């Protein structure tokens, strides 16, 4: 199929690698699409079906590099308990917390997980998220971790969104303890590699989660099997693991609310991407990551949601950008690059998505806004006038604007 988006005010970063200059080029042109890909951007009119984007800003589709999809069940009672000041440790003792979701996932079928995952990804797509990472981590045993990853693989065939799979078996320590659990995790990783069920391996290294020594050995084993590496680090406390993960070659280290200067410097040296998750800080009323300090040190920053049933049920990139600008000191341009090109690179998709350029997928948002600064100012998906996913209309809201577009 050949298609054109005409007269679009294009706002995009460029390239296939994560950047720390956060430059957004802005220009008006026609975007020529063939078979789902951008083939040219120029002023020519080729006489094919078209969408008139006059007066609209074209952004690359948002990329969410950190979600905990798929999961089932809900923890609204826990949310209310937290809102009243009840500590998470007490919630765990009462049968809530992550182990509640683990119980739900263990009872669920693959179809249950697929249906729930597609529902949540559909919600995200209506907010302009055209690519996303999905994690396991709510099984915590061989059968159920594999089940989650198999569900992700099926989901990737049922949606046109780009889906990247991550194994997070080391998400919470089961009763047998981390040392005994390591043997189980090794067996899982071998099976996952054999069945090609995940591209990345992740670990949660923090207070109440896995230790630094365990996490180092765990990522080293994953690396020996050929997995790309990620890490949850410095969300609740600082233990220095962000530095270690960076030295091990992790593609990204995520959270980083409590990171220190030595970790930031190591990440800068290794070009490790910092995936910052302000929605979680907001949801939990915790400290925000020092985004400006990280950026000024030359670390490429990406933004994600951390959408999950326990510590953050927000998923809007518009709200993420608002928080990044209003609470973390980022500029609008930095936040947009962080949620598009840098986020794509954080999950290995930089060559395919994240910018509006020839050769990349035609994942494009058309926004009815006077400037990009309106995005954090008015953080709602109602500013979207059209979503193109792999060159096809996902949603066309042009009747709302009173403009004849096609």
What is d(CA 310, CA 401) in angstroms, rounded to the nearest whole number?
37
Q: Is 405 part of a structural domain of the chain?
A: no
**Residue ranges making up the domain that contains 365:** 2-61+353-400
Q: What is the pLDDT of residue 398?
A: 62
The answer to whether 317 and 60 have CB atoms below 8 angstroms apart is: no
Q: Is 45 part of a structural domain of the chain?
A: yes
Q: Which residues pair with 63 in a beta bridge?
A: 131
Tokens 């990345």, located at residue? 200
Check pLDDT > 60 for residue 248.
Answer: yes
Q: What are the pLDDT digits (tens) for 32-51?
A: 999 999 999 999 999 889 99
* Domain closes at, from 310, 325, 346: 346
Q: What is the pLDDT of residue 400?
A: 38
Q: What is the pLDDT of residue 402?
A: 33
Q: What CATH number is attached to the domain comprising 323?
A: 3.20.20.140
Q: Is 200 part of a structural domain of the chain?
A: yes
Residues 89 and 226 in one domain: yes
- Percent of the chain scored above 70 by pLDDT? 98
With a CB cutoff of 8 Å and minimum separation 6, the contacts of 330 are 291, 292, 295, 301, 324, 338
Per-residue pLDDT, averaged over 355-383, amounts to 98
Residues 56 and 85 in one domain: no
Per-residue pLDDT, averaged over 222-235, amounts to 98
* Domain closes at, from 300, 325, 346: 346
Q: Is 150 part of a structural domain of the chain?
A: yes
Q: Is 406 part of a structural domain of the chain?
A: no
Residues 56 and 137 in one domain: no
Residues 224 and 370 in one domain: no
Check pLDDT > 90 for residue 153.
Answer: yes
Q: What are the pLDDT digits (tens) for 309-355?
A: 999 999 999 999 999 999 999 999 999 999 999 999 999 999 999 99
What is d(CA 79, CA 314) in angstroms, rounded to the nearest whole number?
13
Residues 119 and 261 in one domain: yes
Other Cβ atoms less than 10 A from the Cβ of 220: the count is: 11
What is d(CA 33, CA 39) in angstroms, rounded to the nearest whole number?
6
Other Cβ atoms less than 10 A from the Cβ of 93: the count is: 10
Q: In what order do the strands lie in the sheet with 162-170?
A: 62-64, 129-135, 162-170, 200-205, 228-233, 252-255, 273-276, 301-303
Alpha helices, H only, 196-304: 212-224, 241-247, 261-270, 278-284, 291-296
Categorize the per-residue pLDDT at 127 as very low, low, confident or very high, splitting at 50, 70 and 90: very high
End-to-end CA distance of the chain: 16
The answer to whether 211 and 205 have CB atoms below 8 angstroms apart is: yes
- Percent of the chain scored above 90 by pLDDT? 92
Q: Is 295 part of a structural domain of the chain?
A: yes
Q: What are the pLDDT digits (tens) for 386-400?
A: 999 999 998 877 643
The answer to whether 241 and 215 have CB atoms below 8 angstroms apart is: yes
Tokens 């706002």, located at residue? 11
Q: What is the pLDDT of residue 91?
A: 86
Residues 39 and 175 in one domain: no
The answer to whether 287 and 281 have CB atoms below 8 angstroms apart is: yes
Check pLDDT > 50 for residue 259.
Answer: yes
Q: In what helix (H) or strand (E) does residue 228 lie, and over which residues does it extend?
A: strand 228-233
Residues 209 and 266 in one domain: yes
Q: What's the Cα-to-Cα distance from 251 to each of 15, 71, 119, 130, rounded to whole Å? A: 17, 24, 28, 21
Residues in the chain: 406
Is the overall model pTM greater than 0.85, yes or no? Answer: yes
Residues 74 and 167 in one domain: yes
Residues 116 and 131 in one domain: yes
* Domain closes at, from 323, 346, 369: 346
Per-residue pLDDT, averaged over 24-38, amounts to 97
Categorize the per-residue pLDDT at 401 as very low, low, confident or very high, splitting at 50, 70 and 90: very low
Q: What CATH number is attached to the domain comprising 384?
A: 2.30.40.10
Coil, strand, or helix at residue 11? Answer: strand
Exposure string of 224-238, with b = 16+ CB inside 10 Å and e = fewer, is eeebbbbbbbbbbeb
Q: What is the pLDDT of residue 394?
A: 85
Residues 14 and 151 in one domain: no
What are the tokens at 227? Answer: 């997995």
Check pLDDT > 60 for residue 186.
Answer: yes
Residues 279 and 379 in one domain: no
Q: Is 88 part of a structural domain of the chain?
A: yes
For the chain, the average pLDDT equals 95
Categorize the per-residue pLDDT at 272 as very low, low, confident or very high, splitting at 50, 70 and 90: very high
Task: Please state the domain count of the chain.
Answer: 2
Residues 38 and 77 in one domain: no
Categorize the per-residue pLDDT at 403 as very low, low, confident or very high, splitting at 50, 70 and 90: very low
With a CB cutoff of 8 Å and minimum separation 6, the contacts of 47 are none
Alpha helices, H only, 88-211: 88-93, 98-107, 110-126, 142-158, 178-195
Per-residue pLDDT, averaged over 105-109, amounts to 98
What is d(CA 231, CA 200) in angstroms, rounded to the nearest whole number?
10
Check pLDDT > 70 for residue 176.
Answer: yes
Cα 232 from chain centre: 13
Q: Is 85 part of a structural domain of the chain?
A: yes
């Amino acid at each position: 199929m050949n298609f054109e988006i005409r007269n679009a005010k294009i706002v995009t970063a460029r390239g296939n690698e994560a950047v720390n200059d956060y430059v957004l080029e802005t220009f008006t042109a026609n975007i020529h699409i063939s078979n789902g890909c951008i083939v040219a951007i120029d002023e020519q009119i080729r006489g094919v079906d078209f969408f008139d984007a006059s007066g609209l800003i074209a952004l690359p589709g948002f990329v969410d590099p950190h979600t905990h999809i798929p999961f089932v069940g809900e923890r609204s009672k826990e949310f209310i308990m937290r809102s009243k000041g009840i500590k998470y440790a007490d919630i765990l003792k009462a049968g809530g917390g992550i182990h509640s979701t683990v119980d739900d996932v263990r009872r669920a079928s693959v179809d249950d997980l697929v249906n729930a995952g597609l529902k949540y990804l559909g919600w995200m797509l209506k907010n302009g998220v055209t690519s996303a990472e999905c994690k396991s981590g709510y099984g915590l045993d061989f059968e159920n971790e594999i089940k989650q990853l198999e569900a992700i693989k099926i989901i990737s065939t049922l949606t046109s969104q780009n889906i990247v799979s991550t194994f997070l078996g080391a998400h919470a320590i089961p009763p047998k303890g981390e040392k005994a659990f390591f043997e189980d995790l090794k067996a899982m990783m071998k099976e996952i590699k054999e069945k090609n069920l995940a591209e990345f391996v992740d670990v949660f290294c923090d207070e109440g989660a896995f230790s630094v020594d365990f996490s180092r050995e765990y990522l080293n084993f994953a690396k020996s099997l050929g997995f790309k590496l990620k890490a949850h680090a410095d969300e609740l406390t600082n233990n220095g693991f962000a530095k270690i993960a960076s030295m091990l070659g992790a593609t990204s280290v995520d959270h980083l609310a409590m990171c220190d200067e030595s970790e930031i410097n190591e990440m800068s040296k290794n070009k490790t991407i910092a995936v910052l998750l302000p929605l979680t800080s907001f949801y939990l009323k915790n400290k925000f990551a020092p985004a400006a300090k990280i950026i000024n040190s030359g670390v490429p920053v990406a933004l994600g949601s951390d959408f999950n049933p326990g510590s953050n049920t927000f998923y809007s990139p518009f709200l993420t950008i608002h928080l990044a600008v209003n609470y973390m000191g980022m500029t609008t341009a930095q936040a947009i690059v962080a949620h598009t090109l840098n986020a794509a690179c954080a999950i290995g998709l930089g060559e395919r998505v994240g910018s509006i350029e020839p050769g990349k997928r035609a994942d494009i948002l058309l926004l009815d806004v006077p400037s990009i600064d309106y995005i954090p100012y008015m953080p709602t998906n109602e500013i979207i006038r059209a979503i193109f996913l792999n060159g096809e209309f996902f949603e066309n809201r042009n009747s709302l604007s009173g403009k004849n577009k096609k």
